[in-house]
């Protein structure tokens, strides 16, 4: 039955790919990242830059300026139109672009709500090709590219490896990880309850719910800013959505062996059933309906949070990123795969919040992220996928300045901290600006596993998690907000879909 289901799925995907190809250029871009990595801000900024840059472009003969000089098709003036179109999947929630843009650019500017479910948005680019177009050769009209942006929580991505693991194997790995020094303290209540549970005892719902609740509490604590751990499947336990309270999300690991015989109505047997239901009813549909159809992918990474939390968080982030890249179906794109079976042929890892560091540290941030993904990148490149790593800020909330401190001129970043943020004894009101001296990242990326990642003094340690408000938006001649400043958003665009606009 499973093989027949897989065959039907592959046939459906191939049919959809052929229809998409003949209908015109289409690219499905996956945007993901673990919690607080900036997925919503990235998509909003990308779409705003594309649609606004064309609308605000001066008439022919006027001076052409762009905030996206590395994005060649735009810099060369070959993109003639950029606008939002209805998304192709009517059953998937629409990405709330207008709402998120209003949050970033309104009078009470603030960061939008983070991604908690899958959503889609289509932005269509019409452009002048530099050469012969395959689709023009087929007589399909003007050259255009429909970019279908698929936004989904990175925590869901970490569930894909579960498809190849039994309940006993997953339980062993999860319990073993929870005994490590970085997790033992926050997992103590759940581990204690698990140790007192008998896998062969008769199942009762109260015990199952208590185990699931304490297990979920452990996952939430591990994800908090204090610990910043990343490898925390099952992902839907942290973002349950409509599944909250369902049996498919009411299970927890128990110590047992593969092939162990358990009584029919035992606690262990029921937990195993619910784990298998989670894989078949939650994980597999996500893979088949959304993830397996992607062409390009960007993975946003809040590396600074892990660096601030120390080596254990960095190691855990490395494990999570390896799992993420292992989940992708990668390979070199060719005409056959484009028409019949899309594969992810380009993946971009982006270390976000680069505006929290001085530009002299951006190369070091990229080097650290490249080091954390080295094993996974080697595997993906071996099958023909192109991978890049950048330091990025889709919206730049700070500016750089030289500030005199104790008689010495130091490089600082300046921005408006969120109300309630503090530097030392000073508490900000959300209006006044503040200058901080960002820590210096290590020159050797291997040092992030050895001790404190950021070289800051005890006095400066409070500055690490300072949150800044988005910058105030400037208005264009039409009194609508212009795109906000960024760091390397154009480089991300060029890598992810610039080649499709040649």
Q: What structural domains does the chain harbor?
A: 14-152+290-395+483-501 (3.40.50.300), 163-287 (no CATH), 398-463 (no CATH)
Q: Give CA torsion, residues 216, 217, 219, 220, to 10 deg.
A: 120
Output the pLDDT for position 421.
87
The answer, yes or no, to whether residue 458 has pLDDT greater than 50, is no
Q: Which of 361, 453, 368, 364 is nearest to 412 (CA)?
A: 361
Specify the 3-state DSSP secondary structure of 38.
coil
Pairing between strand 296-301 and 346-351? parallel
Note if the bond before 267 is cis, omega within 30 degrees: no
The answer, yes or no, to whether residue 17 has pLDDT greater than 60, is no
Q: How far apart are CA 174 and CA 232, in angstroms?
A: 9
Tell me the DSSP string of 84-108.
EE--S-TTSPBP-HHHHHHHHHSTT
Q: At what angle do helices 362-372 and 311-327 cross, to 10 degrees?
A: 60
Tell me the DSSP string of 321-356.
HHHHHHHS-B----HHHHHH---B-EEEEEE--GGG
Q: How far is CA 167 from CA 24, 142, 235, in A?
A: 44, 52, 16
Q: Which of 304, 325, 342 is nearest to 14 (CA)?
A: 342
Furthest-apart CA atoms within the chain: distance in Å:
81
pLDDT digits (tens, 9 = 90+) for 142-169: 589 999 999 988 888 888 889 889 999 9
Q: How far apart are CA 41 and CA 300, in angstroms?
A: 11
Which tokens belong to 489? Answer: 């958003």
Q: What are the E-state strand segments in 116-200?
A: 119-127, 144-151
H helix and E strand count, the chain? 18, 12
The answer, yes or no, to whether residue 249 has pLDDT greater than 50, is yes
pLDDT digits (tens, 9 = 90+) for 263-319: 989 999 999 999 999 999 999 988 888 777 889 999 999 999 888 888 888 888 888
Please count the CA atoms within 13 angstroms of the CA of 16 that sit on its side-chain side: 19
Q: At what angle do helices 39-55 and 489-497 cross, to 10 degrees?
A: 90
Q: How far apart are CA 117 and CA 121, in angstroms?
A: 13
Cβ-in-10-Å burial (0-12, 13-18, 19+) of 8 comes to exposed
**Sequence-ordered list of residues with C-beta below 8 angstroms from that of 186, at least 6 positions apart, any chain:** 218, 221, 222, 227
pLDDT digits (tens, 9 = 90+) for 296-309: 999 999 999 888 88
Output the pLDDT for position 337.
41
The answer, yes or no, to whether residue 457 has pLDDT greater than 50, is no
The answer, yes or no, to whether residue 139 has pLDDT greater than 60, is no
Residue 12 confidence class, pLDDT cut points 50, 70, 90: low
Residue entry with tokens 């927890």: 252
Output the pLDDT for position 20.
56
Average pLDDT of span 228-249? 86
Output the pLDDT for position 332.
53
User: Partners of 393 in the beta sheet?
Assistant: 487
Mean pLDDT in the chain?
Answer: 84
């Amino acid at each position: 039955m499973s093989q027949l289901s897989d065959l039907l799925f592959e046939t459906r995907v191939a049919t959809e790919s052929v229809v998409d190809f003949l209908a015109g250029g289409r690219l499905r871009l996956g945007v993901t990242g673990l919690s607080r990595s900036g997925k919503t801000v990235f998509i909003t900024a990308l779409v705003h830059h594309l649609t606004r840059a064309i609308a605000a472009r001066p008439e022919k003969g006027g001076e052409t300026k762009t905030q996206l000089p590395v994005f060649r098709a735009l810099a060369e003036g070959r993109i003639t139109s950029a606008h939002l179109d209805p998304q192709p999947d009517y059953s998937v929630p629409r990405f709330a672009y207008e709402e998120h843009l209003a949050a970033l650019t309104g009078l009470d500017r603030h960061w939008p709500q983070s991604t908690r479910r899958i959503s889609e948005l289509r932005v269509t680019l019409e452009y002048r090709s530099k050469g012969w177009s395959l689709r023009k050769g087929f007589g399909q009209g003007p050259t255009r590219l429909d970019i279908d942006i698929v936004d989904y929580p990175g925590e869901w991505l970490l569930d894909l490896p579960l498809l190849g693991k039994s309940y006993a194997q997953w339980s062993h790995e999860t319990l073993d990880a929870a005994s490590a020094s970085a997790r033992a303290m926050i997992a103590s209540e759940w581990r204690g309850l698990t140790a007192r549970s008998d896998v062969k005892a008769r199942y009762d719902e109260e015990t199952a719910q208590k185990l699931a609740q304490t297990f979920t509490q452990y996952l939430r604590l591990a994800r908090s800013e204090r610990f910043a751990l990343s490898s925390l499947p099952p992902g839907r336990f942290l973002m349950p959505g409509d599944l909250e309270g369902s049996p498919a999300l009411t299970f927890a690991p128990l110590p047992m062996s593969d092939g162990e015989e358990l009584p029919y109505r035992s606690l262990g047997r029921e937990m195993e059933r619910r784990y298998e239901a989670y894989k078949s009813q939650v994980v597999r549909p996500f893979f088949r309906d959304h993830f397996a159809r992607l062409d390009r992918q960007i993975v946003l990474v809040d590396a600074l949070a892990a660096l601030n939390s120390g080596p254990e968080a960095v190691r855990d982030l490395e494990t999570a990123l390896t799992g993420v890249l292992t989940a992708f179906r990668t390979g070199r794109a060719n005409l056959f795969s484009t028409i019949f079976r899309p594969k992810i042929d380009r993946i971009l890892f982006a270390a976000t919040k680069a505006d929290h560091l001085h530009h002299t540290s951006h190369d070091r941030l990229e080097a650290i992220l490249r080091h954390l993904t080295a094993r996974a990148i080697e595997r993906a490149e071996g099958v023909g996928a192109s991978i890049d790593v950048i330091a990025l800020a889709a919206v730049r909330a700070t500016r750089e300045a030289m500030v005199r401190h104790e008689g010495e001129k130091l490089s600082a970043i300046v921005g408006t901290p969120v109300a309630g943020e503090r530097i030392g004894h000073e508490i900000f009101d959300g209006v006044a600006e503040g200058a901080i001296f960002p820590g210096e990242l290590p020159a050797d990326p291997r040092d992030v596993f050895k001790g404190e990642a950021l070289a800051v003094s005890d006095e400066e340690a409070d500055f690490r998690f300072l949150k800044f408000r988005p910058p105030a938006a400037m208005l264009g001649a039409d009194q609508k907000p212009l795109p906000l400043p960024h760091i390397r958003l154009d480089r991300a665009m060029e890598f992810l879909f610039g080649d499709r606009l040649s």
